[in-house]
Amino acid sequence: MTIDEAASAIGRTSPDVAVQGLASLLAEWKLNADNVDELRGQVERYIGNSWISAQR
């Protein structure tokens, strides 16, 4: 699975703003100069500061 496929798969799981933001964060990561350790930190901060709705 590529980073684009992962971002797309995450984005399809829910219309929740936090989920869509995480998908965007992943998709945009490959466009900047951050390494994978910086991505991990960004994802941890993003998830740690977000509430994902459990509504289905």
pLDDT for the residue 12: 95
| Separation between Cα atoms, residue 51 and residue 56, nearest integer Å | 15
Q: What is the pTM of this model?
A: 0.73
So what's the pLDDT on residue 47? 81
Locate the domains of the chain by residue range.
3-48
Is 42:29 a contact under the CB 8 Å cutoff?
yes
- In the prediction, which pLDDT does 56 show? 53
What is the C-alpha to C-alpha distance for residues 7 and 17, in angstroms, rounded to an integer? Answer: 14
What is residue 51's predicted lDDT score, i.e. its pLDDT?
Answer: 67
Summarised one tens digit per residue, pLDDT across range 1-56 is: 888 999 999 999 999 888 899 999 999 998 888 899 998 888 888 888 666 666 65
